[in-house]
Amino acid sequence: MDKIYTKEELLDMYRNLKFGRLFTLKMHEAVYKGLIRSSFHTPYGQEAIGVGVVSAMRKTDWLAYTHRFQTGMIMRYDPYGFIAELFGLYDGIKNGTAFDYHLADLNETGKHILFILGTLGGTIPMNTGFAWARKMQGKDDVCVVVHGDGGCSEGAAYEGWNLAALHKTPNVYVIVNNGWAMTVPLRRESAVEDISAKAAACGLPAQVADGNNILKVRRVMEQPLEMARSGQPNVVEFKTLRWEAHFVGQGNDYRDDKEKIQASMEDDDCVKNFERTLLAQGVLDQAYIDQFTAESQQHLDEMVERAAQSRKSTYDEIYTMEHLYATPETGGKL
């Protein structure tokens, strides 16, 4: 039986989802204004997965994210610091040295964000090991490892899944199957459409769900989290579609599914569809939507303007022993 959410829970999901969409569009704009000088891998159209997954987690659960999971990240990190980090400036979470792909916070009282790797699929075994360590320490938390369809074609994925099944680590592996690994369509990288079937072969329970519906994402995530907490690692695959290129500015000329993209934008828009649902249920009205949108846009404009005025970190601030060798001996903090 589906869980019934309170009005405040629904509004909280909506606010995070809507703000995530507005944030995404604002960062698009920032790329073309030259404020983001590194690659920005947009979560445009996939915001429901980030928000749904993080909203289902406990604050003490750990998140290993991906380069396309910003809408989930800004639910844990201060959005202003996140924006300044994207701009590569001093006010950023890591003083502009990590951007959005190498952030981490392993402090017990911190954000519980795990390290990830630029190496495709490498995040899976690494954070399976982290979850194993937490289990051995007697901790009651889950490590959610998010990865894409491309990462599941790497040998490291199978190693991680196999170790998780063997040692019953507290992991939930979230596969964001958006149909494309950089410029390679799913049909050219996988012989099966349901990638989670590969993890099932390693002994992990797996399920497939609609990644474009935030209520389905939230509901589907709740049981897997408790399964992992009780010693049963598992896999959840969310089906969606990447609307844009691998990174903003690349262009979609190599795509042969433009009609599919257009249909998805019309029928599967997670933000618009959730607004329609909440309007029909009387949870909110158009005035609420309009006011929240206007206030959020103003807040984002102010944060972007303020972040753009931040200075660059100096060489000495970046290349410190704390940054290079984060160990207790050097006074470094992870």
Write out pLDDT tens, residues 57-70: 999 999 999 999 99
Instruction: Write the CA distances from 149 to 44, 121, 156, 318, integer angstroms.
Output: 17, 9, 13, 34
Q: Which residues of 249-272 are buried (b: 16+ CB within 10 A; e: fewer)?
A: eeebeebeeeeebeebeeebbbbe
24 has pLDDT over 80: yes
pLDDT at 101: 85
pLDDT at 76: 97
Report the C-alpha gap between 163 and 170 in whole angstroms: 11
**Tokens representing 90?**
């001093």
The answer to whether the pTM exceeds 0.75 is yes
Report the C-alpha gap between 26 and 291 in whole angstroms: 18
* Mean pLDDT, rounded, for 174-184: 95
Report the C-alpha gap between 61 and 269 in whole angstroms: 28
pLDDT in tens, 125-168: 999 999 999 999 999 999 999 999 999 999 999 999 999 999 99
Q: Measuring CA to CA, which residue among 298, 312, 318 is closest to residue 84?
A: 312
Report the C-alpha gap between 332 and 334 in whole angstroms: 7
Mean pLDDT for all residues in the chain? 93
Report the C-alpha gap between 121 and 1 in whole angstroms: 35
Q: How confident is the model at residue 272 (pLDDT cuts 50, 70, 90)?
A: very high
